[in-house]
């Protein structure tokens, strides 16, 4: 498959983030097409295109928009609608929304205006991860440009449609990327997930109908409005149509964003990225960030679309392909991820709050070579008590690296015990190899 740069096509252009540069490459033409269309037809177009949410779960975007109730509720009151863009990107390995917003903030803003028009929202928010101040500044500057050009504010481009767009900085918590925690945070409360139902489409921000979409999902909409459903469906697969950003990081010759049709394989992407770094071989990788079960070199031919990755036992998630070569200790990598989950656990539910803490204790012991085989069963048992039994998907994400690493690398866990420490620690590795006990 060939690469299909759409979102990333002009990232290297001079001043790509300015309104002039964006308009010079057809920017805001999708908006014009949308404003000449009935809002329901815009929703129908996005539905027909088959765009799926790029924030992790792959939920169909047009269908999500169509859930927003129109007209007065049972109490006779018509509530305002809101669009909230989830720009909290914080998952280890996930690094696509931030470069998109830095290089081409107007693609997102154009998508926000089209989506708000479609769902009949007159106020939209972009909730940005707190730490990324340069992104915040660039977005704010682009929003100011869009207001000055009449793309935001009252009577946009003479259409009679009004929209206020607010860029909101979070305070840097991974859990605030979970859509209901994000809404609590946006309302000024501590970011913790809400019980569902009611779902945000019915009672979201300020208890009003709300659509929460990922940055890449919304940024994909202008190109669909401009080029049409058939063009979008000419890429990707029947159930996972279109193009997407694959983020290659780690032990790869040329890490970066590779925009390609859904269904491309890691083998093909690695060819574009110059392969695993010279002199080394692929050991394991994540198909969709640290919350998705790891794959090994056996999975190089798995089609990277929602169905293909699920059939092979993982999830496409955020398409964050973290590449680890033969120098990496899988126990250490899993420990680092688990420390992240323990730190970011919001503490609302017991399985995740307590379980992630104990997973870290066990993994530390195992990595130091002081664990036992029984600890592996305990690890699996704790992960099982978190998975599917926690209040939100952070818990499931924390369990994924544990289950999958035990499945593929159980012997490597045991090697730590046999070696009395990490076999990848250079000093110990030498001693171990000379003793003839190495398995790597």
Ligand X SMILES: Cc1cc2nc3c(=O)[nH]c(=O)nc-3n(C[C@H](O)[C@H](O)[C@H](O)COP(=O)(O)O)c2cc1C
Is the backbone peptide bond immediately before 198 cis, with ω within 30 degrees of 0? yes
Closer CB to ligand SF4, 332 or 353, in the complex: 353
Output the six-digit token pair for 307.
């169905």
Closer CB to ligand SF4, 86 or 247, in the complex: 86
* Residue choice 81, 89, 340, 412 for contact with ligand X (CB under 6 A): 89
- Tell me how far the alpha carbon of residue 100 is from its chain's centroid: 13
Query: Judged by CB under 6 A, does residue 352 bind ligand SF4?
Result: yes
For ligand X (CB under 6 A), the number of binding residues is 23
Do 369 and 421 contact (CB within 8 A), yes or no?
Answer: yes
Closer CB to ligand SF4, 9 or 353, in the complex: 353
250 phi, psi to nearest 5 deg: 95, -140
> Which partner in ligand SF4, ligand X, none is near 198 (CB below 5 to 8 A by kind)?
none
> Which partner in ligand SF4, ligand X, none is near 179 (CB below 5 to 8 A by kind)?
ligand X
User: Which of 317, 424, 426, 418 is CA-nearest to residue 369?
Assistant: 418
> Which partner in ligand X, ligand SF4, none is near 395 (CB below 5 to 8 A by kind)?
ligand SF4
Site string for ligand X, 47-66 (x = CB under 6 A): ------xxxxx-x----x--
Closer CB to ligand SF4, 169 or 175, in the complex: 175
Which residues have CB under 8 Å from 182's CB, separation 6+? 84, 86, 88, 127, 170, 176, 191, 212
Stretch that binds ligand X, among 81-89, 139-147, 353-361, 367-375 (CB under 6 A): 81-89
The CA distances from residue 34 to 6, 288, 383, in Å, are 19, 32, 47
Helices (H) and strands (E) in the chain — how many of each? 19, 9
> Which partner in ligand SF4, ligand X, none is near 88 (CB below 5 to 8 A by kind)?
ligand X
> Which partner in ligand X, ligand SF4, none is near 226 (CB below 5 to 8 A by kind)?
none
Query: Judged by CB under 6 A, does residue 337 bind ligand SF4?
Result: no
Query: Judged by CB under 6 A, does residue 349 bind ligand SF4?
Result: yes
Burial-class residue 199 by CB neighbours within 10 Å (0-12, 13-18, 19+): middle
Output the six-digit token pair for 422.
């990490």
CA distance 216 to 89: 11
The CA distances from residue 134 to 10, 137, 169, in Å, are 19, 5, 11
Output the six-digit token pair for 417.
């015990």
CA distance 116 to 110: 10
* Residue choice 22, 391, 409, 413 for contact with ligand SF4 (CB under 6 A): 391
Site string for ligand SF4, 171-210 (x = CB under 6 A): ----x-----------------x-----------------
CA distance 302 to 262: 11
Closer CB to ligand SF4, 291 or 314, in the complex: 291
Site string for ligand X, 176-205 (x = CB under 6 A): -xxx--------------------------
Output the six-digit token pair for 4.
């299909």
CA distance 340 to 359: 11
* Residue choice 236, 287, 308, 395 for contact with ligand SF4 (CB under 6 A): 395
> Which partner in ligand X, ligand SF4, none is near 349 (CB below 5 to 8 A by kind)?
ligand SF4
CA distance 139 to 66: 28
4 phi, psi to nearest 5 deg: -130, 70
Shortest distance in whole angstroms from residue 54 CB to ligand SF4: 21
Contacts of ligand X in 324-343 (CB under 6 A):
none
Stretch that binds ligand X, among 13-21, 212-220, 240-248, 348-356 (CB under 6 A): 212-220
Please, what is the angle between helix 373-386 and helix 350-367, to 10°? 160
* Residue choice 347, 388, 420, 438 for contact with ligand SF4 (CB under 6 A): 347
The string over 77-87, giving b where at least 16 C-beta atoms fall within 10 Å of a residue's C-beta and e elsewhere, is eebebbbbbbb
Query: Judged by CB under 6 A, does residue 348 bind ligand SF4?
Result: yes
Query: Judged by CB under 6 A, does residue 124 bind ligand X?
Result: no
> Which partner in ligand X, ligand SF4, none is near 233 (CB below 5 to 8 A by kind)?
none
Exposure on the CB side of residue 431, measured as CA atoms within 13 A: 10
Which residues contribute to the site for ligand X (CB under 6 A)? 53-57, 59, 64, 86, 88-90, 174-175, 177-179, 212-214, 217, 392-394
Which residues contribute to the site for ligand SF4 (CB under 6 A)? 175, 193, 345-349, 352-353, 390-392, 394-395
């Amino acid at each position: 498959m060939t690469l299909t740069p759409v979102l990333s096509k002009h990232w290297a252009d001079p001043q790509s983030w300015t309104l002039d540069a964006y308009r010079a490459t057809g920017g805001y033409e999708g908006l014009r097409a949308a404003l000449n269309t009935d809002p329901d037809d815009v929703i129908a177009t996005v539905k027909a295109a088959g765009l799926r949410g790029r924030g992790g779960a792959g939920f169909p975007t047009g269908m999500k928009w169509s859930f927003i109730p129109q007209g007065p509720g049972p109490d006779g009151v018509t509530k305002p609608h809101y669009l909230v863009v989830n720009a909290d990107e914080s998952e280890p390995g996930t690094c696509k929304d931030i470069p998109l917003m830095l290089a081409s903030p107007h693609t997102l803003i154009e998508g926000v205006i089209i989506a708000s028009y479609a769902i009949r929202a007159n106020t939209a928010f972009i909730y940005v991860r707190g730490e990324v101040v340069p992104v915040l500044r660039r977005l704010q500057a682009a929003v100011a440009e869009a207001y000055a050009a009449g793309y935001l504010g009252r009577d946009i481009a003479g259409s009679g449609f009004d929209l206020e767009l607010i860029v909101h900085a979070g305070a840097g918590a991974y859990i605030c990327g979970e859509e209901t925690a994000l809404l609590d945070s946006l309302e000024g409360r501590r970011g913790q997930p809400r019980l569902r139902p009611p779902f945000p489409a019915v009672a979201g921000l300020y208890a009003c109908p709300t659509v929460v979409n990922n940055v890449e999902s919304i940024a994909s909409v202008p190109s669909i409005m401009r080029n049409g459903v058939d063009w979008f469906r000419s890429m990707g697969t029947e159930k996972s149509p279109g193009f997407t950003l694959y983020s290659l990081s780690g032990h790869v010759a040329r890490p970066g964003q590779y925009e390609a049709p859904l269904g491309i394989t890691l083998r093909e992407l690695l060819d574009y990225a110059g392969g695993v770094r010279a002199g080394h071989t692929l050991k394991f990788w994540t198909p969709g960030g640290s919350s998705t079960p790891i794959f090994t070199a056996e999975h190089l031919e798995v089609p990277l679309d929602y169905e293909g990755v699920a059939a092979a036992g993982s999830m496409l998630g955020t398409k964050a392909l973290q590449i680890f070569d033969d120098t990496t200790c899988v126990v250490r990598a899993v420990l680092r991820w688990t420390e992240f989950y323990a730190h970011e656990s919001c503490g609302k539910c017991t399985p995740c709050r307590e379980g992630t803490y104990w997973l870290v204790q066990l993994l530390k012991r195992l990595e130091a070579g002081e664990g036992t085989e029984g600890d592996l069963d305990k690890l699996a048992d704790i992960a099982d008590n978190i998975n599917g039994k926690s209040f939100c998907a952070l818990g499931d994400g924390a369990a994924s690296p544990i289950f999958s690493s035990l499945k593929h690398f159980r012997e490597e866990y045991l090697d730590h015990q046999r070696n009395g420490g990490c076999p990848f620690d250079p000093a110990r590795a030498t001693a171990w190899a000379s003793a003839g006990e190495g398995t790597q």
